[in-house]
Structure 1
Amino acid sequence: MDGAPQVPEIRTTCAYCGVGCGVLARPDGAGGLTVRGDPDHPANRGRLCSKGFALGETLSLDDRLLAPRVSGQDTSWDAALGLVADRFSQTIAQHGPDSVAFYVSGQLLTEDYYVANKLMKGFIGSANIDTNSRLCMASTVAGQKRAFGTDTVPGTYEDLELADLVVLVGSNLAWCHPVLYQRLAAAKAARPAMKVVVIDPRRTATCDLADMHLTLAPGSDVALFNRLLVEIHKGGAVDADYLHHVNGFEETLRAAMAQDGGATGLDPAQVAAFCKMWVGTEKVVTVFSQGVNQSSSGTDKVNAILNCHLATGRIGRPGMGPFSVTGQPNAMGGREVGGLSNALACHLDIEDAGHRDLVRSFWQAPTMANGAGLKAVDMFERVRTRQIKALWIVCTNPAVSMPDADVVRDAIAACDFVVVSDVTANTDTARLAHVLLPATGWGEKDGTVTNSDRTISRQRAVLPAPGAARADWAIICDVARRMGFGSAFDYASPAEIFEEYATLSGAAAAVGRDFDISGLTGLGQAGYDALPPTRWPVAAHGQAERFFAEGQFFTSDGRARMVPVTARAPAARTGPRYPFRLNTGRIRDQWHTMTRTAKAPRLNQHLGEPFLEIHPDDATAVGVAPATLVRVTSPTGSCILRALVTDRVQPGQVFAPMHWTAETAPTGRIDALVPGIVDPLSGQPESKAAVVALEPYDAGWFGFAVSTGAMSPVCAYWARSRVEAGWRAELAGQEIPQDWEAEARRLFAMPDAHCQSIHDPASGTVRIAFLDGDRLLAALFVGRAPVALSRDHLASQLGQIAVAPLSGRPSADMPDPGAVVCACLNVGVNTIGAAIASGQATTVTQVGECTGAGTNCGSCRPEIAVLLAKAQRLEAAE
């Protein structure tokens, strides 16, 4: 009621990328949340990206899994967990501990991760637990361990703002880590002398900030950084004093000198200019991400970068150092608890017998895995060959996100016993499970996460758990107790798990490990509840925030290792049959396989269907017209995608995002095209260098549909997404229905609704609208070519009194905002264009002042700059 006291905001942490932004969330009384950035959180200082800004819109219960299910039927927790414990125990008894596996996720909280690893490695006695973080940062782990002795991130976010040169390698920071991009953009605006270099085969939104863009050949990062190391030596930038803390300089330099500098495909003058800039700038930070990691030589790429920083001593001091940015909210926390199959908790090594004994003794475990387990690709291969007979998948969707996704999907479907813990039953993977366990999601979970610069933050529950949903740690511990491991998993809260974990970190530090949060032991429940963002190490005796400024590495002799590396081309080779190189990645407003982000209508409006970026010359050569459909085929699979003809990609290269699933666009499952080729050291798949062939998809018809209710497309191509009042879908097929009205009624499940229609057989045009009185319920527009109409306008008319619903366009007195550019504030391209045309907006800042676009998260500012430049070119040509 009016005047009632407002519910207080709760401090928590964003559910998305590894930036780890603080969020202030408040229940809105209707099952959702109001969300704003936490101005006191050191990662984001109040900023949020479009995805974080829309978090409160992703909490609807319409697709939530609210009770355990066995064989598709709701059941009790007691029955479901009893079955899981019995089947895993029986499988282990009959076939041994390596016949079972867990596949977990960087979206788990640290406490969830910890107990899952404890159960598998210390009590089941197998290391067959791996994480989807294997797909995004395993090569960084392997490279840092080779160089430093531990998986240590030396620097902090502040270094990006203190640097005089920031080099972004394989990182589209503007779209994948938008808040870090905002921080970098603000620093550059405050200090225009700061330089930014982007190294990426593709021109991305991040290039808007760049002083230099190096479009190197895919996979040639090692060649470039080897050339840089040679120029460091020639330019006298080697720090001889720092090399007292480093082994391997001479042999690493010799390997670099032997490298063919032409492997990068870059203009030698551009390479020379980059090297001169890097060599001549002491305060340099090299940021690297998936473009480095997702490679069959990813570990070598990481070490090539680290070699340059070690040779110059530009590491561990303010404004300088190598910096890996992670893709998931708790990828770092998972690394810290031993979430990877080749690690133990607290950065202890599973291959080290002393470390294994330490953890076994600490856990008082009956057994301990005696070596590394199966990495993700190998794990699912063992599922395929039926060597793994019981599989528990937690909070991830490998039937879509793993390479060779069709094979992985079929392997899971054929596995003897599959358990899936998730928030929904409506994922490609959940549909394959024998047992579904309802887990709590963001907004309901309670625990900690660690971001890319080692800051531990609390994720706090803001809403009650819906239905019978339970926390992942509680589900895992309940199964462990039923398997006979009771007292070791008898936790009453995440605070108790954190206490045990922090205590173990002290024991790990005592044997020379970097990870130490022993200073956080003894918090108790109240201290844990109040824990502020805290960057580790937090040793009982105190320690510096940055690592390695004075050496002190975590190797046996305390010295870093420079590693001789030689560039290798991607494993898959292009040729006459598969002439194109496929790059995969993320888009600005979606997250992983869209289980969460697809529920927020605003996040579906910028890029609403799967697409393929293709260079204009290549599009012409293969006969693909803009906005038509293209079939993309690799040795492992096939997709149908919308053609986005653009010079953002180089000739011979194409790009497609990885978000769509059988739930949202069945022919857009891009990882079906990616082979299971991995880096031999890290086991990370080569997700950015598949080889593909392209051909036009010969559709007999194209369609666009909107509906207030769910749609059930039955055609060769479809992609659906939520809008404010329902759904929209792009459609295409080869067979033309004989009765379009009957097909539309089936599509919308509206057998009796009043219909208006226009059908022109000569042109192949069909327009059908279903109404309740004057209110639009659904509409279908069909043509022989992609249908031209105002899609956002039509979607906005759902449930409203429709004026000329068959026109597909707003009336003259109703402005059409156009396709959304700014997802945060819902600003369309036509609104921005009008502001530019009026003469009131001649800069990106002025566009923001006039329309609001770009004033929240800033991720759309590069796109606004492109619109301004295009308008200025047109004006100059007149």
Structure 2
Amino acid sequence: MTGPIRSTCPYCGVGCGVLVRKTDTGVAVSGDPDHPANFGRLCSKGAALAETLGSEGRLSEPLIAGRRAGWDEALSLVARRLSDTIAAHGPDSVAIYGSGQMLTEDYYAANKFMKGFVGSANIDTNSRLCMASSVAGHVRAFGSDTVPGLYEDLELANLVVLVGSNLAWCHPVIHQRLAAARAARPGMRVVVIDPRRTATCDLADLHLPIAPGSDAAVWNAVLAAIDARGLAHWRDRLSGYAEAVEAARASDPAAAGVDLSGFIDLWCGAERVVTVYSQGINQSDSGTDKVNAITNCHLATGRIGRPGMGPFSITGQPNAMGGREVGGMANMLACHLDIANPRHRAAVQSFWNSPAIAAAPGLKAVDLFRAVEAGRVKALWVIGTNPTVSMPDADRVARAIATCDLVIASDIVETGVTRRADVVLPAAGWGERSGHVTNSERRISRQQGFLAPHGAAMPDWKIIAGVAQRMGFAGFDWPDADAVFAEYKTLSGIAGAQGGDFDISALTDEAPALWPQSPLRRGGRFFGDGVFHTPDGRGRMIAVIPQRQEVGMRLNTGRVRDHWHTMTRTGRAARLSAHIAEPFLEIHPEDAARIGLQPAMLAEVTSPGGRAVLRVLVTQRVAPGQPFAPIHWTDRNSAAGRVGALIAARVDPVSGQPALKEAGVVIRPYAAVWYGFAASVAPFRPDCDYWACATSDTGMRAELAGTAMVADWPAHARALFGLPDADLSLLSDPSRGTVRLALSLGGIVQAALFCAPSPVALSREAVVAMMGSRAPQILSGRAALDRPDPGATVCACLNVGVNTILGAIRQQGLCTTGQLGEALGAGSNCGSCRPELQALIDRVRAEPGTTPRITAAV
């Protein structure tokens, strides 16, 4: 690698471009200033990509029943077992469950394999969990799954509404584009609609903390006002207008729980308005109706497909959009063609020259795993995802997988699926494979390989092709990923000739490009001319009847700033765990007092489906009765912190998307008799009742708790850390029940354990920093006097701690986040920590005798 390689970030649907450069110690990753999605910016996760490329924990060779095998043996076994299953039980006894992290080439190969040659549409992906309701809503409204707008519309709008979207933490680069636009145009307004106060609210002129699940009532109120105020300028271009308005008038806006009048005035008064929505809308058992309640308002007013206006679905995965394009889900056919349309099926089958074509939609995610449980699906191939954590009813899914006759798992690391699989196939990861992804604004970019695959790992498309060829299927002899993509582009031209919106047959593949890329059209917005992809060309409005909301304690789920999905990748970077290192429960002070929870203790959260144990964070960011917990922790890093075990498998009847955002729960104090914190140079596996592990700069760290006392702490520690002969330093106070000990070899600290009957108070960062060094003061739990303690990490991009920030504010009189960026770098990269920086500034300002430095505000 002589110069930088241009690639695309493998995290969220923003689709940021990155530059990869070779260094003396490995590679360096930075933002690509020429990529039109991010113009050089990266969030904390993207900035830490180079730290996630190590070989630790990677799957390096195929495994059959736990033993090592070669590729030919493994693929031949898979081909034979799949062929036997199909012969005995039919095509629908086989299923693939994939991932939005698959490249377009992988998706294409899997879709062609299942729908065209196996002859079943039982291929679904975890994209079903994040944007299926948006797909269904688009198809109902527009006649096609078409995102009408572009990122630049957020910068051109006079009003941006963020609903069910914590943009600051989940899509930080787009959030910073919006923040910059708002700073440049002070007249722009931003509204956040979210039951919880998130970091995104700091950008908002108005935050509407609506009752959970009341989104349809909010947008019906807007539609009723549109009609009453005579703003329905496009009603003659639409069908279903009268019915939609009638349903909107019948809705009760009071169901939102907040005054909507100010928001309605803003929305109705702003011609250029963009409504951004994400998982807070989609992950609902009425998500499709909520999507259509939003699109109804944009359709009625004609605020769609023109600069600065339109509904905008922001996807969660790097290639969720590409999977939609390639027909990677059970109810789709390739290139936006309709699996229920005989003409479309015939065109695809003819192009593939396949022996069969799936004639009806297959099993969607929840139904797919229920079919596995019932024994109807007898062979399951899981690619690049871990449904034992991410699916609703996660424990039930794990049990179903364990009972399946044949389980094949393609992945880069061990997961709950690979541990239950009969055949494990090592896949190439980011940086080891090349192909394409499509971001939330329909922009296709390349992911470029710059590393040799780890061990014997192969790209997913190549693994799928190897099985297909051994099953006797023709048409899978691609020499490389480019050949797969070339075939896909050709098929898209055939789809375009059928009248579809998706056609990339003229894509040159030289730079990131918006689709369509056809001989007749290159990129741009859709529907600004009032013509839609329906048979009559009219947009469709849908009558939406809001569902009644359940009462009681309703858990809200979501993401944290520096982690992504199940931490397969982000968990490798120590600085990404420094901000939040364990699963937690945000709970309102009133609920905490009623239940008997104190800050930093543990709470046991139960539902009919399962149980989780979470660290208590008492905060007014959530309303009473609406606690919040993040989704990322797995049985690899916190067995008791798996939130997916709490979620019931309730699905949207139109899209099949599960209601992953919420669950009815019971919360009580966890019966811990001791709490602990541990740090070690070497990895270790806690064996207590509660634990949460994270990578650190010096090894590993963990929060611990137990429900039974430990009789011999030194012996327990030696066994825990695997250091039977290490020198022991011990400080205990039986009257207080506290124990502090360290284990050293040759005077070098190898591990330390701190335990107490209540949550342990010490400087965790200082303890972690002392691992692998001579640190006689370690049992104090504080940094040495000559080594300042930076405190808990606030800015993960630049690794700046809270004590460093507070010191700079006090000593230098800093009074804006811009000044902190100049002084420390904090907040100057992705900016997602700026709300926390501002809170620290406000905290210091409130201290007596504080004199801020007066400069121009930033």
TM-score, scaled to structure 1: 0.96
Query: Any unmatched runs of 5+ in structure 2?
Result: 852-858
Cα distance, 1:568 vs structure 2: 0.8
AA aligned opposite 1:798: M
User: Do structure 1's residue 334 and structure 2's residue 313 form an aligned pair?
Assistant: no
Cα distance, 1:542 vs structure 2: 2.1
1:540 is matched with 519
Q: Are the aligned partners of 2:302 and 2:530 in contact in 1 as well (CA < 8 Å)?
A: no
User: Do structure 1's residue 351 and structure 2's residue 324 form an aligned pair?
Assistant: no
AA aligned opposite 2:78: V
1:727 is matched with 700
Q: Are the aligned partners of 2:517 and 2:523 in contact in 1 as well (CA < 8 Å)?
A: no
Secondary structure, aligned partner of 1:838: helix
Q: Are the aligned partners of 1:614 and 1:653 in contact in 2 as well (CA < 8 Å)?
A: yes
Q: Which moved more, 1:834-843 or 1:663-672?
A: 834-843
User: Do structure 1's residue 197 and structure 2's residue 191 form an aligned pair?
Assistant: yes
1:398 to 376, 387, 393: 387
Q: Are the aligned partners of 2:63 and 2:74 in contact in 1 as well (CA < 8 Å)?
A: yes
1:757-788, Cα deviation, whole Å (9 max, x unpaired):
11221111101101122321100000000000
1:310-355, Cα deviation, whole Å (9 max, x unpaired):
0000000000000000000000000000011000011111111221
User: Do structure 1's residue 459 and structure 2's residue 438 form an aligned pair?
Assistant: no
User: Do structure 1's residue 445 and structure 2's residue 433 form an aligned pair?
Assistant: yes
Please report the RMSD computed on the Cα atoms of aligned residues, expressed in angstroms: 1.2
User: Do structure 1's residue 315 and structure 2's residue 304 form an aligned pair?
Assistant: yes
AA aligned opposite 2:584: F
1:375 to 339, 361, 364: 364
Secondary structure, aligned partner of 1:806: helix
Distance in 1 (CA, whole Å) between partners of 2:524 and 2:531 is: 14
Q: How does 1:141-540 map to 2 (within 5 A)?
A: 141-239=135-233, 242-267=234-259, 271-425=260-414, 427-485=415-473, 487-520=474-507, 528=509, 531-540=510-519
Secondary structure, aligned partner of 1:83: helix
Q: Are the aligned partners of 2:513 and 2:523 in contact in 1 as well (CA < 8 Å)?
A: no
1:689 is matched with 662
Q: Are the aligned partners of 2:285 and 2:659 in contact in 1 as well (CA < 8 Å)?
A: yes
2:636 to 663, 672, 683: 663
User: Do structure 1's residue 56 and structure 2's residue 50 form an aligned pair?
Assistant: yes
Q: Are the aligned partners of 1:27 and 1:462 in contact in 2 as well (CA < 8 Å)?
A: no
Secondary structure, aligned partner of 1:609: coil
AA aligned opposite 2:539: A
AA aligned opposite 1:256: A
AA aligned opposite 2:4: E
Secondary structure, aligned partner of 2:779: coil
1:232-274, Cα deviation, whole Å (9 max, x unpaired):
12222221xx33321111111111011111111112xxx1110
Distance in 2 (CA, whole Å) between partners of 1:569 and 1:186 is: 39
1:661-691, Cα deviation, whole Å (9 max, x unpaired):
0000000010100000000000001012210
1:437-456, Cα deviation, whole Å (9 max, x unpaired):
01100011100000000000
Q: Are the aligned partners of 1:792 and 1:818 in contact in 2 as well (CA < 8 Å)?
A: yes
Q: Are the aligned partners of 1:27 and 1:463 in contact in 2 as well (CA < 8 Å)?
A: no
2:757 is matched with 784
User: Do structure 1's residue 626 and structure 2's residue 599 form an aligned pair?
Assistant: yes
AA aligned opposite 1:555: T
AA aligned opposite 2:144: T
Cα distance, 1:532 vs structure 2: 0.6
Q: Are the aligned partners of 1:26 and 1:462 in contact in 2 as well (CA < 8 Å)?
A: no
Distance in 2 (CA, whole Å) between partners of 1:227 and 1:388 is: 44
2:74 to 63, 80, 86: 80
Distance in 1 (CA, whole Å) between partners of 2:580 and 2:274 is: 32
1:423-464, Cα deviation, whole Å (9 max, x unpaired):
112x12211111110110001110000000000000000111
Distance in 2 (CA, whole Å) between partners of 1:845 and 1:27 is: 32
Q: Are the aligned partners of 1:603 and 1:823 in contact in 2 as well (CA < 8 Å)?
A: yes
Distance in 2 (CA, whole Å) between partners of 1:251 and 1:874 is: 58
2:2 to 7, 11, 23: 7
Distance in 1 (CA, whole Å) between partners of 2:60 and 2:492 is: 36
Secondary structure, aligned partner of 1:653: coil
Secondary structure, aligned partner of 1:679: coil
1:120 is matched with 114
2:92 is matched with 98
AA aligned opposite 1:212: L
1:381-406, Cα deviation, whole Å (9 max, x unpaired):
01111111110000001010000000
AA aligned opposite 2:556: N
Query: Any unmatched runs of 5+ in structure 1?
Result: 1-5
Distance in 1 (CA, whole Å) between partners of 2:657 and 2:445 is: 27
- Runs of 4+ more than 6 Å apart: none
AA aligned opposite 2:236: H
How many corresponding residue pairs? 851
Cα distance, 1:544 vs structure 2: 5.3
Distance in 2 (CA, whole Å) between partners of 1:197 and 1:876 is: 36
Distance in 2 (CA, whole Å) between partners of 1:387 and 1:299 is: 28
Identity of aligned residues (%): 59
Cα distance, 1:29 vs structure 2: 4.6
Cα distance, 1:493 vs structure 2: 1.2
Cα distance, 1:839 vs structure 2: 4.6
AA aligned opposite 2:310: G
Cα distance, 1:877 vs structure 2: 11
1:855 is matched with 828
AA aligned opposite 1:33: V
Cα distance, 1:813 vs structure 2: 2.9
1:637 is matched with 610
Distance in 1 (CA, whole Å) between partners of 2:848 and 2:538 is: 60
Distance in 2 (CA, whole Å) between partners of 1:29 and 1:812 is: 34
Q: Which moved more, 1:13-22 or 1:798-807?
A: 798-807
Secondary structure, aligned partner of 1:314: coil
Distance in 2 (CA, whole Å) between partners of 1:874 and 1:372 is: 63
Distance in 2 (CA, whole Å) between partners of 1:592 and 1:245 is: 41
Q: Are the aligned partners of 1:840 and 1:850 in contact in 2 as well (CA < 8 Å)?
A: no
2:17 to 22, 36, 40: 22
Distance in 1 (CA, whole Å) between partners of 2:638 and 2:205 is: 38
AA aligned opposite 1:432: R
Q: Are the aligned partners of 2:64 and 2:74 in contact in 1 as well (CA < 8 Å)?
A: yes
AA aligned opposite 2:243: E
Distance in 1 (CA, whole Å) between partners of 2:102 and 2:371 is: 24
Secondary structure, aligned partner of 1:46: coil
Cα distance, 1:556 vs structure 2: 0.8
Secondary structure, aligned partner of 1:752: coil
Q: Are the aligned partners of 1:342 and 1:371 in contact in 2 as well (CA < 8 Å)?
A: yes
Distance in 1 (CA, whole Å) between partners of 2:848 and 2:307 is: 46
AA aligned opposite 1:560: G
1:3 is matched with none
AA aligned opposite 1:509: G
Cα distance, 1:876 vs structure 2: 8.8
Distance in 1 (CA, whole Å) between partners of 2:538 and 2:353 is: 34
AA aligned opposite 2:124: D
Q: Are the aligned partners of 2:682 and 2:699 in contact in 1 as well (CA < 8 Å)?
A: yes
Distance in 1 (CA, whole Å) between partners of 2:646 and 2:849 is: 43
Q: Are the aligned partners of 1:33 and 1:57 in contact in 2 as well (CA < 8 Å)?
A: no
Q: Which moved more, 1:55-64 or 1:752-761?
A: 752-761
Distance in 2 (CA, whole Å) between partners of 1:873 and 1:145 is: 52
